[in-house]
């Protein structure tokens, strides 16, 4: 299915944290509000280890989604929009 980028598509963003399980090294991507800001415990789906990803953060990125007619038509890595002051651009 082809999803062409349409003129006038709405934009929305997701702050994403990238980290590894400290026990087995499995790579994860999780919403940053959950993994970093909240400091939630994560249970590795591979080895079962429980850990806090805040101390294991490899990268944090902002994804920008273009949405037209209720469907995602594009995704890119971007800087945080200026109306999101709590997110720091790197």
Looking at residue 82, its pLDDT comes to 66
Return the pLDDT at 88.
52
pLDDT at position 72, please? 96
Q: Alpha carbon 48 to chain centroid distance? A: 22
**What ranges do the domains of the chain cover?**
10-78
Q: Cα(24)–Cα(7) distance, rounded to whole angstroms?
A: 44
* For residue 22, pLDDT beyond 80: yes
pLDDT at residue number 39: 87
Output the CA–CA distances (angstroms, integers) from residue 44 to 14, 66, 68, 79, 86, in the order listed. Answer: 22, 31, 35, 29, 28
Please tell me the distance from the alpha carbon of residue 87 to that of residue 4, in angstroms, as a whole number. Answer: 29
Model pLDDT for residues 35-51, shown as the tens digit of each residue = 999 989 999 999 999 99
pTM greater than 0.85 (yes/no): no
């Amino acid at each position: 299915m082809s999803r062409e980028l349409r003129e006038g598509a709405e934009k929305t963003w997701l702050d994403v944290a990238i980290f590894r399980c400290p026990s087995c090294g499995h790579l994860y991507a999780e919403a940053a509000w959950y993994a970093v800001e909240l400091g939630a415990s994560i249970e590795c789906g591979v080895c079962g280890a429980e850990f806090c990803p805040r101390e294991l953060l490899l990268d944090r990125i902002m994804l920008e989604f273009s949405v037209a007619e209720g469907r995602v038509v594009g995704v890119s890595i971007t800087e945080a929009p200026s109306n999101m002051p709590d997110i720091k651009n790197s």
